[in-house]
């Protein structure tokens, strides 16, 4: 059996998720042994127009990005989105809360009007093309990425958690952040991270996006119980939840 050809592309992102691939360290040799990497701007000079699996980091923010991702999709049999920017739009979507001219001006000043700085509404990859698998997180978890790739090599569907962060947080035996009166959005955020932030003493920031069926009504009622407001909650949701339906329900 010939090895599947893999190409890794980036759009609007910090490249931190690709760094997670590099950070696999010993395992990266296994990865490279199991697949044929034909394009990866961050790590090699070669490029290719023929590949089986396309791995996408970053969100789609410019008109030309949409053309580029459509071309990549048309060439790939399987497309995997990695990291919050690609899977949910991530922090990049904060931009969508403002007027685009204002955004250009704020970032680039007068130079913002230059043609190559044209910008559009930020989109997650699946708002433009079909995404087969998502490896969530900011950054994504390297071990989960490796697991997903191994599943695909087997031809089996990977199990991506569709339950809240609370499951993993309880397993870590953390004291619930709500017991400290903090607004933790773990109960509506997709797990898979191993509850890293609550285990380090922070609330959940929601980087893996909502579970498929978040109970937004419950979240709102809980705010009442704790003497907080829905706006307090929303202020915690916009970081990774801007322009996503549950944030505004």
Partner 1 sequence: MSISKLSKTDFKEFVDGLLSSGKMVMGVQAHGERFAFDVLKSAGDLRLDYDVTILPPKKYVLPQVETLLTYTLPEQYKSQYQEGEMILLGVHPYDMAAINQMDILFSQDQYDTHYMLRRKKMTIIACDVATPSKNVFAASMGTATVHEGYDILLTDIGDAYVIEAATDKGRSLVQGAAGLANASAQDEAARQAVWDKNKIELNKHPLKCKPSDIPALLDKAYNHPVWDEKARTCFACGSCNTTCPTCYCFDVQDDVSWDRTAGKRYRAWDGCLLENFATVAGNHNFRKARADRFRHRLYRKGKYVPAKIGGRIACVGCGRCITACIPDIANPVAIYNRLVEDLGVAPKK
Residues making contact with partner 1 (CB under 8 A): 27, 30-31, 33-34, 147, 150, 153-154, 159, 162-164, 166-167, 170-171, 173-176, 178, 186-188, 211-213, 215, 217-219, 221-222, 225
CA distance readout (Å), 51 to 4, 150, 246: 8, 17, 36
Min dist CB 143 to partner 1, Å, is: 10
State which residue, 111 or 171, has the beta carbon closest to partner 1.
171
Instruction: From 199, 174, 169, 201, select the one nearest 186 (Cα to Cα).
Output: 169
Two tokens, residue 18:
């690709």
Q: Which is nearer to partner 1, 153 or 238 (CB)?
A: 153
Q: Which is nearer to partner 1, 18 or 174 (CB)?
A: 174
Residue with token string 């023929």: 50
CB of 12 to partner 1, least distance (A): 31
Tell me the closest approach of the beta carbon of residue 98 to partner 1, in angstroms: 31
Of the pair 45, 200, the CB lying nearest partner 1 is at 200
Tell me the helices (H) and strands (E) count for the chain, helix number first: 11, 5
Contact 136, 88 (CB under 8 A): yes
CB of 137 to partner 1, least distance (A): 19
Phi, psi angle pair for 185, to nearest 5°: -100, 15
């Amino acid at each position: 059996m010939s090895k599947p050809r893999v190409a890794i592309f980036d759009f609007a992102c910090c490249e931190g998720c690709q760094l997670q691939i590099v950070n696999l360290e010993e395992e990266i040799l296994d990865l490279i042994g199991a697949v044929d990497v034909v394009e990866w701007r961050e790590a090699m000079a070669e490029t290719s127009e023929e590949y089986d699996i396309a791995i996408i980091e970053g969100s789609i923010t410019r008109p030309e990005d949409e053309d580029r991702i459509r071309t990549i999709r048309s060439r790939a049999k399987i497309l995997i989105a990695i990291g919050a920017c690609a899977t949910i739009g991530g922090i990049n979507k904060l931009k969508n809360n403002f007027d685009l001219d204002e955004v250009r001006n704020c970032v680039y000043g007068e130079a913002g009007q230059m043609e190559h700085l044209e910008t559009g509404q930020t989109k997650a990859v699946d708002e433009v093309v079909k995404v087969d698998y998502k490896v969530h997180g900011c950054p994504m978890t390297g071990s989960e990425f490796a697991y997903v790739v191994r599943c695909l090599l087997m031809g089996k569907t990977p199990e991506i958690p569709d339950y809240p962060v609370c499951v993993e947080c309880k397993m870590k035996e953390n004291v619930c952040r709500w017991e400290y009166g903090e607004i933790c959005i773990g109960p509506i955020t997709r797990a898979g991270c191993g509850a890293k932030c609550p285990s380090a003493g922070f609330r959940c920031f929601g980087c893996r996006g909502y579970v498929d069926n978040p109970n937004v009504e419950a979240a709102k009622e809980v705010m009442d119980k704790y003497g907080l407001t829905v706006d307090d909650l929303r202020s915690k949701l916009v970081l990774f939840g801007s322009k996503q339906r549950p944030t505004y329900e």
